[in-house]
Amino acid sequence: MDDTLAADAAEIAAHAERELEALVAVSSPSGDLAGAEEAIAVCAALLPPQAAIERVPCSTSDGADDLIARVPGRGERKLLLVGHLDTVIDHHSHRPLRREGDRLYGPGTVDMKGGVVLSLGLARALSARPERFAELSLLLVTDEEWRVQPFTHVERFAGYDACLCFEAGQLTESGEEGVIVRRKAAGTLRVRATGRASHSGSAPDQGRNALLALAHTAIRVSDCHEPSGPDRLSVVPTVVRSGDAFNVVPAAGELIFDMRADGAEVFSRVVEAVPGEVDGVGLAPRMERVWPGMDCREPTRRLLEAASRRLGRPIVGLSRGGASDASHFAATIPLTVDGLGPRGGGAHTPEEYVLAPSLAERAEVALALVDAALNGTAGGA
């Protein structure tokens, strides 16, 4: 491994655990304005002093403003770092960071405050060498976990040469460093049912049962599920709500599907599978939270090869089904790589954790990729 790279990674790792403790101490579930502002204040304090901080409107109309930090340089290439500060754990379930062996437990540790901490450390390391880049930008958003409105930030970074996103990292089955270069498109399908209420004891057949219609729809639409098919389409019913009382035929309800596929255009086939009505109950489908797919395997091939040489161990491009903001940038910044955060597990649960040794290991991976991207060794990709 390059000596400078090793020294920078050690410096990032030396501060990472304490910085993660400070960031996890802030409860910042999606949509909570006070939590978002406090998390942003922590991050602003950890930015390099050269960074110019800008607050820009969040993609979610009533969300806290997102953070953009820009560091000007004297080099030739522009680099974007991406992360999010919101979590799915509510205030009641929030706990401060705790250590058990090599595991650092806390809400948002792996998704993705651990990655945010690494991105901040990387920004500080790079800012000390402004001759290496033309512009370094860090984007931290406050609504990644719950956003249903269109993502608004892509045009801000037109012309950037590389994008690194710090969602959770992983190893390959053989123990090599893995990064994410391919993700499925993601979509949420909401189906609303409108029937007619009646007394479930004295007049059950006079009603139009929304719950039964939604159950029928769940089974019918799930027939589209074909994860091993040419589009790798998954269609999973995840939420159903219907009925207000145990002795009333439910007159209304809703059913939600989570969908993933190689391309978002496939989701229209699922929408078309929703029947217009079932036994007199009207059904109205609506698409929400449609995120694009990401396939940067070929554009990043030479980048990963060059970064592997600098790191002294292989970096392997992998696929992941979960959605990420990296997918929004991949179409306009072909050198987009995700999964640069620390390794861990239990995302979206009270037992979420990161592996402490991986903070240093993933800092090394990120620095190697930055080095390769800024040196132009992926030229022609």
CA pair distance 381, 377, nearest whole angstrom: 9
Sign for the CA dihedral angle at 314, 320, 322, 323 comes to positive
Residues 251 and 307 in one domain: no
Containing domain of residue 20, as a range?
Answer: 3-184+293-374
Residues 71 and 154 in one domain: yes
Query: The sheet that has 52-56: what strands, in order across it?
Result: 52-56, 66-72, 135-141, 78-84, 162-165, 336-337
Residue 381 lies in a domain: no
How do beta strands 78-84 and 103-105 pair?
Answer: unpaired
Residues 37 and 154 in one domain: yes
CA pair distance 159, 283, nearest whole angstrom: 44
- When divided into structural domains, the chain yields a total of 2
- Residue 71 phi/psi, 5-degree rounding, is -120, 115
- Final residue before a domain boundary, out of 273, 291, 309: 291
Cα→Cα distances 165→22, 115, 260, 331, 334, Å? 21, 8, 20, 14, 13
- Residue 167 phi/psi, 5-degree rounding, is -65, 170
Is the distance from CB of 371 to CB of 379 less than 8 angstroms?
no
- Final residue before a domain boundary, out of 267, 291, 315: 291
End-to-end Cα, the chain, rounded Å: 24
- Final residue before a domain boundary, out of 291, 323, 355: 291
Tens-digit pLDDT profile for the chain (381 aa)?
788 999 999 999 999 999 999 999 999 999 999 999 999 999 999 999 999 999 999 999 999 999 999 999 999 999 999 999 999 999 999 999 999 999 999 999 999 999 999 999 999 999 999 999 999 999 999 999 989 899 999 999 999 999 999 999 999 999 999 999 999 999 999 999 999 999 999 999 999 999 999 999 999 999 999 999 999 999 999 999 999 999 999 999 999 999 999 999 999 999 999 999 999 999 999 998 899 999 999 999 999 999 999 999 999 999 998 889 999 999 999 999 999 999 999 999 989 999 999 999 999 999 999 999 999 765 443
Is the distance from CB of 19 to CB of 120 less than 8 angstroms?
yes
On whether the pTM is more than 0.85, the answer is: yes
Residue 380 lies in a domain: no
Residue 282 lies in a domain: yes
Is the distance from CB of 360 to CB of 9 less than 8 angstroms?
yes
Residues 99 and 133 in one domain: yes
Residues 80 and 173 in one domain: yes
